[in-house]
Amino acid sequence: MPHHDTFERKLAQARLLRDETGIRRPILVDDLSGTVHRKYGDMPNMTWILDRGGRVVYKANWTNAANVEAFLDRYLAARERRPPGAAQVMYETEQIEFRRTDAEQFQKHLLRNGPRAVEEFAKAKELWTRHAAG
């Protein structure tokens, strides 16, 4: 798959991704310079939850569906079903999480995207290894 060099190509690739993976949620496409993506932090696989008025209630630099679901259940229950007479206040938290990686599955997706994706990712891995070794 070639990189995004025109907005039309970006749109076409978004359609392809939608159709190949069967995404049913609304997909909003950013402009070619990634204005919204860069404003929201520029990471590749983020999830943000924005409550009424755009208030940020959750931000994660990796998407974990189970975490998102658990958070929403807890957050909405607390926000909507406040026990009468009980006071509650908000507080904030920042946490570190871990994720499992599946190298085999990842490699399959790279292959689907083309030989250059495989080759360039392998080169990037060498850079990460060299960097980690100092």
Partner 1 sequence: MDLKSYNYAHFDEHIAEGAERGAATAFRDSFRVGERAEDFALLRLNDGARVELSDYWRSKPLVMEFGSFT
Contacts of 27 (CB under 8 A, 6+ apart): 14, 18
CB of 64 to partner 1, least distance (A): 11
Regarding 5 and contact with partner 1 (CB under 8 A), the answer is yes
- What residues have CB less than 8 Å from 72, skipping those under 6 apart? 49
Residue 52 main-chain phi, psi, to 5 deg: -45, 135
Contacts with partner 1, 63-102, as mask; x by CB under 8 A: x----x---x--xx-------------x-x-x--------
Q: What are the residues whose beta carbons fall under 8 Å from the beta carbon of 93, sequence distance 6 or more?
A: none
Q: Which of 41, 78, 99, 111 binds partner 1 (CB under 8 A)?
A: 41
- Residue 107's nearest CA partner among 117, 97, 98 is 117
Q: Provide the CA 2 distance to its chain's centre, in angstroms.
A: 21
Told to check if 14 binds partner 1 by CB under 8 A, we report yes
For partner 1, the closer of residues 33 and 88 by Cβ is: 33
Interacting residue ranges for partner 1, rule: CB under 8 A:
3-5, 11, 14-15, 17-18, 25-30, 32-59, 61, 63, 68, 72, 75-76, 90, 92, 94, 109-110, 113, 116-117, 120-121, 123-124, 127-128
